[in-house]
Amino acid sequence: DGGITQSPKYLFRKEGQNVTLSCEQNLNHDAMYWYRQDPGQGLRLIYYSQIVNDFQKGDIAEGYSVSREKKESFPLTVTSAQKNPTAFYLCASSIDLVSSGANVLTFGAGSRLTVL
Amino acid sequence: AQKITQTQPGMFVQEKEAVTLDCTYDTSDQSYGLFWYKQPSSGEMIFLIYQGSYDEQNATEGRYSLNFQKARKSANLVISASQLGDSAMYFCAMREYLRSYNTDKLIFGTGTRLQVFP
């Protein structure tokens, strides 16, 4: 079945460490996204990518980095510069970014990062 | 800047009853899209329904319908015949077009937690 796989589902990190969250999709979607979710808040966009080797900052990109070396993969690195990294991270993909219709995002199951 | 507002942090509904989850939005664009997603306790976001700004009919998908009132800038989700499995967080979202990058993104409201009781 096609979908998005995020790993790990749970991750614990010590302060000062970088961690990388994996996101893989087999939907043949061009666009991929990373969102962050905090309790009582909606989803906030961290980074997004339209095509391989290209990505753009979202609303809260500071302290994060991404790469898009393959169409299927869009890993997110949470660096030590991110001051409040404890959150739930969701990866998503869509057929393309620009659409006049229902460009529906398909989401993964998420990764929960806790900084100790 | 575009904005989505969900003013109900939590809602309760009895099984088999209908429930309305509120969503208002703010945009200066003429062309936009509105979405509703469901997030069960497992965490993943599940797409429910979409309404385009030029759609004259309210969108419907099974037990879900979207009460779209353009002049009031509201896009409320109506769930008919609630089931216990409907208990989840529900998010309203709007597509925002970014002209400088010729791309778009979704912006989300803060969500409403729906609990269905027997």
Q: Is A23 exposed, middle or buried (0-12, 13-18, 19+ CB in 10 A)?
A: buried
Q: Are B31 and A100 an interchain contact pair (Cβ–Cβ within 8 Å)?
A: yes
Of B33, B45, B93, the CB nearest to A90: B45
Of A33, A107, A112, the CB nearest to B44: A107
* Percent of chain A surpassing pLDDT 70: 93
A58 inside 8 A of chain B by CB? yes
Mutate to test the interface with B, among A37, A41, A44 (most CBs of B within 10 A): A37
Q: How confident is the model at residue B102 (pLDDT cuts 50, 70, 90)?
A: low
Per-residue pLDDT reduced to its tens digit, A37-69: 998 788 999 999 988 999 999 999 999 999 999
Per-residue pLDDT reduced to its tens digit, B36-92: 999 999 999 999 999 999 988 999 999 999 999 999 999 999 999 999 999 999 999
Q: Are B43 and A102 an interchain contact pair (Cβ–Cβ within 8 Å)?
A: no
Q: Which residue has the higher pLDDT, B59 or B106?
A: B59
Q: What values do phi and psi take at B85, rounded to 5?
A: -70, -5
DSSP characters for B32-60? -EEEEEEE-TT---EEEEEEETT--SPPE
Determine contact, residues B83/B112, Cβ cutoff 8 Å: no
A105 inside 8 A of chain B by CB? yes
State how far the Cα of B1 lies from the Cα of B102, in Å rounded to an integer.
16
Local structure of B5: helix, strand or coil = strand
Q: How confident is the model at residue A81 (pLDDT cuts 50, 70, 90)?
A: confident
B52 inside 8 A of chain A by CB? yes
DSSP characters for chain A? ---EEEE-SEEEE-TT--EEEEEEE-S--SEEEEEEE-TTS-EEEEEEESSTT--EE-TT-TTEEE--SBTTB--EEE-TT-S---EEEEEEEES-S--SS--PPEE---EEEEE-
Q: Is the pLDDT of residue A100 over 60?
A: no
Determine contact, residues B44/A37, Cβ cutoff 8 Å: no
A92 inside 8 A of chain B by CB? yes
Q: What DSSP state is assigned to residue B16?
A: T
A116 inside 8 A of chain B by CB? no
Structure tokens at A77: 């690195």
Least Cα distance to A60 among A36, A41, A76 occurs for A36
Q: What does DSSP say about strands A19-25 and A4-7: parallel, antiparallel, or unpaired?
A: antiparallel
Q: What values do phi and psi take at B84, rounded to 5?
A: -60, -35
B102 inside 8 A of chain A by CB? yes
Q: How far is A107 from chain B (nearest CA, A)?
A: 6
Q: How confident is the model at residue B108 (pLDDT cuts 50, 70, 90)?
A: very high
Instruction: Read off the pLDDT of each residue in A21-46 and give the average, rounded to a whole number.
Output: 93
pLDDT for the residue numbered A55: 93
Q: How far is B46 from chain A (nearest CA, A)?
A: 7
Of A42, A88, A102, the CB nearest to B43: A88
